[in-house]
């Protein structure tokens, strides 16, 4: 990786909370940041123009899904993900590891990789560290991930085995990585066990990646345990590299984890909730199917500057939901994504102004008071 193409600039810190910029060939990523998930080279129900309008600077796509369909060779033939999905800004691809272990049928793990049956057509496929890197290099994202094994967080023996595999696979990913216009991030594993997390953070940090991900959290462990593991890991990860907490998108988790030094988040939650008629707000979630909104002239959230809240009432959105109109998913997705992006923007400003602790306390107190 060329230092001239990727660098992390720390702008401000307030306690452990950080405001920074990760510089990439397709633009700067201000941190802390939330990345909308475009699993199959599309953020569901939202166009690239709409993503740009709400201020998204980083989008995630999924290696496992694109490996199976349409295939990395086709994406490469089309000029890579940026051209294929018409998104000119930074893209991150995960390694496919989590999906292999959560979606694939009849998987068989060995020291070299994983053989599995596709959840799409049942065909037998194979992913190894080398194949994952090859696929991600063909996809052409700015940030790519090492191939890892995500274990159930409370199973000690499995977590220890998966961590050792993750470390060995990370070394192989480094050896296989060829493109200097892609930043390869290492992934810390270790389940919900502080000693394993500490060992993993030390090992992965020693490999000198340009950025680091914290994997295997928000998958069944308690909130307090997740916070403990993040504290353990971030005390070890280098301060001059970005830290990415994988798969976390609950608003209060973002507030708490930013306070612990996390820079980058991603999650399918905002768009998944939107497709199930649920809007995110400062005071909690709104089920727009609720009959109480049938005559409600208010926007989803008073004071929200998103396109949806600026133009449409809860009554109209409920009508779309009841009528099963596709536009409902688009409008609520726009709001939910804007909500999380605005949260990270406000967090960044609070860090720069030296008032993040107050910001977090006020934000969480308002949420708690609403039940």
Distance, CA of 16 to chain centre: 20
Domains of the chain: 7-267 (3.20.20.105)
> Sign of the C-alpha dihedral, residues 271, 146, 264, 70?
negative
The one catalytic residue among 14, 94, 148, 263 = 94
Q: What are phi and psi of 346, to 5 degrees?
A: -65, -40
Q: Is the separation of the CB atoms in 79 and 365 below 8 Å?
A: no
Condensed to tens digits (0 to 9), the pLDDT of residues 18-27 reads 999 999 999 9
Q: Is the separation of the CB atoms in 187 and 213 below 8 Å?
A: yes
Among the listed residues 94, 95, 122, the one whose alpha carbon sits nearest the alpha carbon of residue 107: 122
Residue 108 or residue 146, greater confidence: 146
Residue 16 bears catalytic tag = no
The band of 3, judged by pLDDT with boundaries at 50, 70 and 90, is low
Residue 97: the pLDDT is: 85
- Region 321-342: mean pLDDT is 98
- Region 60-79: mean pLDDT is 97
- Region 343-369: mean pLDDT is 95
Beta partners for residue 12, in sequence order: 19
- Residue 100, pLDDT > 90, answer no
Whether cis (ω within 30° of 0) applies to the bond prior to 70 is yes
Q: Where are the beta strands (DSSP E) in the chain?
A: 7-14, 17-24, 27-31, 33-36, 59-61, 91-93, 105-110, 113-117, 124-127, 143-145, 183-188, 212-214, 243-245, 264-267, 278-281, 284-287
Q: Could you give the 3-state DSSP secondary structure of residue 37?
A: strand
- Residue 139, pLDDT > 80, answer yes
The one catalytic residue among 14, 148, 253, 266 = 266
- Residue 2, pLDDT > 50, answer no
Residue 121 bears catalytic tag = no
H-assigned helices in 219-306: 223-234, 251-259, 269-275
Integer Cα distance of 169 and 280 in angstroms: 38
Integer Cα distance of 96 and 244 in angstroms: 16
Integer Cα distance of 326 and 36 in angstroms: 19
Q: Is the separation of the CB atoms in 120 and 68 below 8 Å?
A: yes
First-last CA distance in the chain: 47
Residue 121 CB partners (closer than 8 Å, separation 6+)? none
Condensed to tens digits (0 to 9), the pLDDT of residues 274-307 reads 999 999 999 999 999 999 999 999 999 999 999 9
- 94-98, 242-246, 358-362: range with lowest mean pLDDT: 94-98
Condensed to tens digits (0 to 9), the pLDDT of residues 115-129 reads 999 989 999 999 999
Residue 270: the pLDDT is: 98
Beta partners for residue 287, in sequence order: 278
Residue 22: the pLDDT is: 98
**What average pLDDT is seen over the chain?**
96
Q: Could you give the 3-state DSSP secondary structure of residue 7?
A: strand
Integer Cα distance of 356 and 351 in angstroms: 5
Condensed to tens digits (0 to 9), the pLDDT of residues 267-282 reads 999 999 999 999 999 9
The band of 370, judged by pLDDT with boundaries at 50, 70 and 90, is confident
Integer Cα distance of 199 and 131 in angstroms: 26
């Amino acid at each position: 990786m060329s230092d001239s193409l990727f660098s992390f600039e720390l702008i401000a810190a307030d306690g452990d909370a950080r405001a920074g910029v990760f510089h990439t060939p397709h633009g700067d990523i201000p941190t802390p940041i939330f990345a909308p998930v475009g699993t199959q080279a599309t953020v569901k129900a939202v166009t690239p123009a709409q993503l740009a309008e709400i201020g998204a600077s980083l989008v995630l796509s999924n290696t496992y899904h694109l490996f199976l369909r349409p295939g990395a060779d086709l994406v490469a033939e089309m000029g890579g993900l940026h051209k294929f999905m018409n998104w000119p800004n930074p893209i991150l691809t995960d390694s496919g590891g989590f999906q292999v272990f959560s979606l694939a049928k009849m998987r068989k793990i060995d020291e070299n990789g994983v053989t599995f049956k596709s959840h799409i057509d049942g065909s037998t496929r194979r992913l190894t560290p080398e194949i994952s890197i090859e696929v991600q290099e063909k996809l052409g994202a700015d940030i790519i991930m090492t191939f890892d094994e995500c274990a159930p967080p409370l199973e000690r023996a499995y977590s220890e085995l998966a961590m050792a595999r993750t470390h060995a696979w990370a070394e192989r990913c480094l050896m296989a990585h060829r493109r200097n216009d892609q930043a390869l991030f290492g992934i810390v594993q270790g389940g919900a066990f502080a000693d394993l997390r500490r060992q993993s953070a030390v090992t992965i940090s020693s490999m000198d990646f340009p950025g680091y991900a914290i994997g295997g959290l928000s998958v069944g462990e308690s909130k307090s345990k997740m916070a403990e593991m993040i504290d353990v890991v971030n005390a070890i990860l280098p301060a001059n590299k970005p830290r990415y907490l994988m798969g976390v998108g609950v608003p209060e988790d973002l507030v708490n984890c930013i306070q612990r030094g996390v820079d980058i988040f991603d999650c399918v939650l905002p768009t998944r909730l939107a497709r199930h008629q649920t809007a995110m707000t400062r005071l909690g979630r709104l089920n727009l199917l609720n009959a109480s909104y049938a005559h409600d002239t208010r926007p989803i959230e008073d004071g929200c500057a998103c396109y949806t809240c600026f133009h449409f009432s809860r009554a109209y959105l409920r009508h779309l939901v009841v009528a099963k109109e596709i536009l409902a998913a688009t409008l609520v997705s726009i709001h939910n994504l804007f909500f999380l992006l605005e949260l990270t923007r406000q967090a960044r400003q609070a860090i720069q102004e030296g008032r993040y602790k107050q910001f977090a306390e006020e934000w969480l107190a308002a949420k708690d008071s609403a039940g």
